[in-house]
């Protein structure tokens, strides 16, 4: 039960609260920060990084040798000496070994080349490589070191990292 004096007091308190909330705007405005995100120093640093990146890429392409892999080596298909080894020396990554006659063509989209080995088509090793240009060795008897990958259709799918002409 409220008395007349208490009721007036409650109404006055409610009025004070309303006036304070009405004084505050519904949305706050934010003052813009001083300075821009792209300052002259930041632009200069980004330009320097871009120049260094392009320059280092150019120098590495001219050098032609990155992490033990010769990128510029060209081998004519007629003048490939026996015993020639190309590719990576990383035998821990490329630990699987196979040898046979290199032929073009994979099986159902797996591999671009295959090694033909004794025992028929079931013994073929289907090959891909981002390190060695296998097309230069088509028709040659070779030994490859690589990493076996899971295949859908091929019995053996290998990513070649190293090749030796036999």
Residue 44 lies in a domain: yes
Pair 153, 121: CB distance under 8 Å: no
92 and 141 part of one domain: yes
106 and 145 part of one domain: yes
pLDDT at residue 40, as a whole number: 84
* Alpha helices for 1-157 (secondary structure H): 4-23, 40-63
pTM for this entry:
0.53
Pair 97, 144: CB distance under 8 Å: yes
63 and 116 part of one domain: no
Measured over the CA atoms of residue 133, residue 139, residue 142 and residue 116, the dihedral's sign is: positive
Query: 145 pLDDT band (50/70/90 cuts)?
Result: very high
Among the residue ranges 3-12, 46-55, 76-85, 146-155, the one predicted with the least confidence is: 3-12
Residue 32 lies in a domain: no
From the list 104, 103, 98, 108, the residue with the least C-alpha distance to 153 is: 108
Work out the average pLDDT over 100-124: 91
Domain that holds residue 140: 85-165
47 and 97 part of one domain: no
Q: How far is CA 81 from CA 69, 71, 127, 145, in A?
A: 19, 19, 22, 18
63 and 100 part of one domain: no
Residue 33 predicted with pLDDT over 70: no
Residue 51 lies in a domain: yes
65 and 101 part of one domain: no
Pair 115, 124: CB distance under 8 Å: yes
Residue that is last in its domain, among 29, 48, 72: 72
Domain count, the chain: 2
CATH number for the domain harbouring residue 149: 2.40.50
pLDDT at residue 32, as a whole number: 65
pLDDT at residue 1, as a whole number: 46
């Amino acid at each position: 039960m409220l008395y007349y004096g208490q009721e007036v007091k409650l109404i006055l308190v409610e009025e004070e609260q309303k006036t304070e909330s009405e004084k505050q705007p519904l949305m706050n405005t934010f003052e813009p920060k001083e300075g821009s995100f792209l300052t002259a120093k930041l632009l200069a640093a980004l330009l320097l990084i871009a120049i260094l990146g392009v320059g280092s890429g150019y120098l590495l392409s001219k050098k032609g040798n990155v992490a033990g892999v010769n990128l510029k080596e060209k081998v004519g298909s007629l003048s490939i000496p026996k015993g020639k080894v190309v590719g990576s020396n990383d035998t821990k990554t490329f630990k699987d070994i196979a040898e046979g006659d290199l032929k073009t063509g994979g099986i159902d989209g797996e591999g671009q080349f295959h090694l033909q080995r004794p025992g028929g088509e079931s013994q073929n090793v289907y090959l891909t490589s981002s390190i060695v240009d296998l097309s230069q060795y088509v028709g040659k008897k070779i030994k490859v070191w690589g990493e076996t990958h899971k295949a859908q259709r091929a019995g053996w799918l290998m990513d070649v990292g190293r090749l030796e002409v036999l």
